[in-house]
């Protein structure tokens, strides 16, 4: 082998595949595991929106194909031919050639979330990364796929027309100049064609704003300084911690962060606030029901105390009935959406 051949053999190649999926993504992941060959020359990292619920995804993927699959462990190295899945209630990140797990702030109301994985992989491995966004609701993954492209990596999406829930791949395709948009059945072949390819001779420098965004999410450095560097205060509060949200300058889709690290796209923020508003309204409904019950109890006590208190008891009963009417009106409003 000539020195030039040896140099090319040792040169970095595209060897890290990061995949984000949510609703409707599990069948695609299982078919992908079945179609990837043994000795696949890249490490595959998967973030699926499972929250804190128990997940059997690694066992299912491992049973469908030749590649070993397991929940990632903090600190384990990235090895080719292995599928690592983010454990429930943990973000999975790439740092210094290993996997890092944490229970950091939720992003887009999810942990594990897709954007933290994609963003960290882009910063750690640059053009060596291939990002894939599969079926799912809302738009987690769009900002992360942008980060991968800006750091020189490749961006793939499942064809929205082929996805059970087309929101996530459609958003990614709308906001990222993707390298391929393929149906699920073609994904494994597409990845095999791309992994192992040599990198561009002059990869782009790592954008400072992506590193700052990541520092906010991991709690590194001064959060207010970071927020002011990449955004400006908005008129919205964080539905997770009630802090002020900063709007990220120029972000598309529009994105927000608070100083504790929670992150949202505009659509995810609206969805989360919808849920918080409904919870608050049901709390108000409970308070009205308790107030009605207490007023009725007080009316009984007032009437039983002495005859002079009967008028007071009637007044309390009237107030209880008015409260009951308010409660029914509020229930009707909640149920009407």
pLDDT, one tens digit per residue, over 292-306 is 999 999 988 888 776
124-157 per-position pLDDT tens digit: 999 999 999 999 999 999 999 999 999 999 999 9
Share of the chain above pLDDT 70, in %: 95
Contact 116, 104 (CB under 8 A): yes
Alpha-carbon gap, residue 179 to 93, rounded angstroms: 23
Let me know if 126 is exposed, middle or buried by CB neighbors in 10 A (0-12, 13-18, 19+).
buried
- Name the nearest CA neighbour of 57 among 46, 67, 66: 46
What is the distance, to the nearest Å, from the Cα of residue 193 to the centroid of all Cα atoms in its chain? 28
- Active-site residue list: 22, 49, 140
173-215 per-position pLDDT tens digit: 999 999 999 999 999 999 999 999 888 888 889 999 999 999 9
Pairing of strands 83-85, 43-48: parallel
Kindly report each contact of residues 326-329 with a partner whose C-beta sits within 8 Å and lies 24 or more positions away, as own/partner.
326/288, 327/285, 327/288, 327/289, 327/292
Q: What is the pLDDT of residue 10?
A: 59
Q: Where in the chain is the domain with CATH 3.40.50.180?
A: 12-194
Q: What is the DSSP letter of 82?
A: -
| Mean of the per-residue pLDDT values of the chain | 93
Contact 145, 169 (CB under 8 A): no
User: Whole-structure pTM over 0.85, yes or no?
Assistant: yes
Q: Is the pLDDT of residue 9 over 60?
A: no
**Which whole number is the average pLDDT over 283-291?**
93
| Contacts for 76 with CB less than 8 Å, ≥ 6 apart | 84, 98, 99
What are the structure tokens assigned to 124, written together? 């750690």
CATH of domain 12-194: 3.40.50.180
- Name the nearest CA neighbour of 45 among 146, 120, 110, 105: 120
């Amino acid at each position: 082998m000539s020195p030039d051949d040896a140099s090319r053999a040792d040169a970095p190649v595209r060897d890290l595949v990061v995949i984000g999926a949510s609703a409707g993504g599990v069948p695609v992941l299982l078919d992908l595991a079945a179609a990837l060959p043994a000795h696949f020359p890249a490490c595959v990292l998967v973030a699926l929106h499972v929250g804190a619920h128990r997940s059997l995804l690694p066992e299912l993927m491992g049973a469908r194909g030749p590649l070993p699959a397991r929940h990632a462990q903090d600190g384990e190295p990235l090895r080719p031919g292995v599928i690592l899945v983010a454990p429930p209630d943990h973000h999975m990140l790439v740092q210094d050639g290993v996997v890092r797990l944490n229970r950091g702030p939720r992003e887009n109301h999810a942990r594990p979330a897709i954007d933290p994985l994609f963003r960290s992989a882009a910063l750690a491995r640059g053009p060596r990364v291939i990002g894939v966004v599969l079926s799912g609701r809302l738009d987690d993954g769009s900002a992360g796929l942008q980060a991968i492209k800006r750091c020189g990596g490749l961006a793939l999406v499942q064809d929205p027309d082929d996805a059970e829930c087309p929101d996530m791949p459609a958003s990614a395709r709308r906001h990222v100049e993707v390298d391929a948009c393929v149906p699920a059945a073609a994904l494994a072949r597409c990845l095999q064609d791309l992994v192992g390819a040599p990198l561009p001779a002059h990869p782009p420098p790592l954008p400072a704003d992506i590193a700052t965004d990541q520092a906010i999410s991991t709690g590194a450095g001064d959060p207010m300084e970071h927020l002011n560097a990449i955004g400006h205060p908005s008129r919205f509060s964080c539905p997770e911690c009630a802090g002020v949200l900063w709007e990220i300058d120029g972000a598309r889709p529009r994105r927000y962060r608070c100083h504790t690290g929670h992150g949202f796209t505009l659509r995810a923020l609206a969805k989360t606030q919808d849920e918080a508003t409904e919870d608050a309204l049901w709390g108000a409904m409970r308070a009205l029901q308790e107030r009605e019950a207490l007023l009725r109890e007080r009316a009984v006590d007032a009437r039983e105390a002495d005859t002079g208190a009967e008028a007071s008891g009637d007044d309390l009963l009237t107030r209880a009935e008015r409260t009951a009417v308010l409660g029914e009106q509020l229930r009707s409003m909640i149920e009407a959406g």
